[in-house]
Amino acid sequence: MITWRSITRALQRHHAPIRAQVRQLNLLEHHSHKLLREFKLPVPPGFLVTTPEQAKDVVSVINAPSMIKAQVLAGGRGKGKFNSDGKSGVRLADSPSDAFKDASNMLGYSLTTAQTPTDGLHVDKLYIYQAVSIAQEFYFAMTFDRQHNSPVVLISSSGGTNIESNVDKMHKLYFRLSTGITDEIHAYIQAELGFSDTEMKDIHRILVQMVKLFKEKDATLLELNPLVRTEEGAFICLDAKFEFDDSARYRQKGIFALEERSPEEEEEHQMAELGLSYVRLGGNIGNIVNGAGLAMATNDLIGLYGGKCANFLDVGGAATKEALRKAFGVFEKDERVKGILINIYGGIVRCDMIAEAIVAAAAEMGGFKCPVVVRLQGTNSEKGLKLIEQSGLKNLVVEGEFEKAAQMIVKLTSGG
């Protein structure tokens, strides 16, 4: 069976780069800290700022060395580089004047890390909290192991940026949400990581609250990295990463309301709100299809004739005027799109109904600003093509044969 998940995987093998169509909600660090605080997990008091002046004022109030961290949905910020001064996305400010200088070189600029696009991510928010003296960094996480059909605790004594090179030190402890952290898990962690009885009381409390949060908020990943032990012996969560089950969106409206999206992700979100599936690619031909298999075939045929797709949009059975108007609007805003191919095979959804929706949506927009080729096949296709031909809309042509339609849009977008 062909699905949009399989399409994305296939396209990722042949085109670069592509964002997976199925994705889970991630939170920015300041939202994560707020959520941890809500579940009584230890985090330092933090402040969100959007101007260098605010950064200066916050560090003045803290009156101590402070961490300044760029708020972007990407890991590796500490090893990343800003396009302003070449410095990282995590900085230590010893004074208010340092905070002002750093914030001036961070806000409004792009940060590039190993997990961002090559041109980086725009930074418009910073999170600031008092620096802590770190004695040791740990990695604590909870997720689901699909192979074992069980939630699992992942723990390592080598946390922070070193975790990826110390996977062999990771301890996996399976548990049940109904029983939580058992005495056996408690004893194993203390023996393997060498916590004292006093420290283990804090660790046990952290784990119990992690389970509570994980369960109540429908999380699929709860990662504390690093969870640090300070020089004074306290345990503090300095950074956290969350992922949540998208199917629980209706239960976790407060969590999902915090979602921040890039312009590209906003396109996907708008389409999803209309029940449409959207995948962004790297070419200049916009595509509207109905069906995953037809999408793959359209991509292959356009590629065969020398073209490249800018995206895929599967309207399925939702080819309404509103949906198509929204789709055309997204394509119009995308400066890469030089032409659009609408490739529909009518079955349950009749081609004449789709044609009416295309004409109505285009008329509402005042016509098309780029060439549009329409190919309709199936139920009432002749009637649908006739409706489009008689519409009088400019930049709109019809072609009933699949190959010719692909050749035509490639030619129209290549200037040939």
Active site residues: 139, 223
H or E stretch covering 90:
strand 90-93
Confirm if 15 and 282 have CB atoms less than 8 A apart. yes
Residues 6+ apart with CB under 8 A from 18: 8, 11, 12, 279, 280, 281, 282
* Phi, psi dihedrals of residue 226, rounded to the nearest 5°: -95, 150
Q: What is the dihedral of CA 336, 342, 348, 354, to 10 degrees?
A: 100
ω into 42 cis (within 30 of 0): no
The DSSP code for 9 is H
Which bin fits 218, alpha (ψ -120 to 50), beta or left (φ > 0)? left
Query: Distances from the Cα of 235 to the Cαs of 52, 134, 199, 231, 384, in angstroms?
Result: 30, 10, 8, 10, 67
CA dist 333 and 123 (Å) reads 22
Neighbours of 7 (CB within 10 A): 21
Phi and psi dihedrals of 211, rounded to 5? -60, -40
CA dihedral 333, 334, 335, 339 (to 10 degrees): -100
- How many other CB atoms are there within 10 angstroms of residue 343's CB atom? 25
Amino acid at 121: L
> Strand, helix or coil at 109?
coil
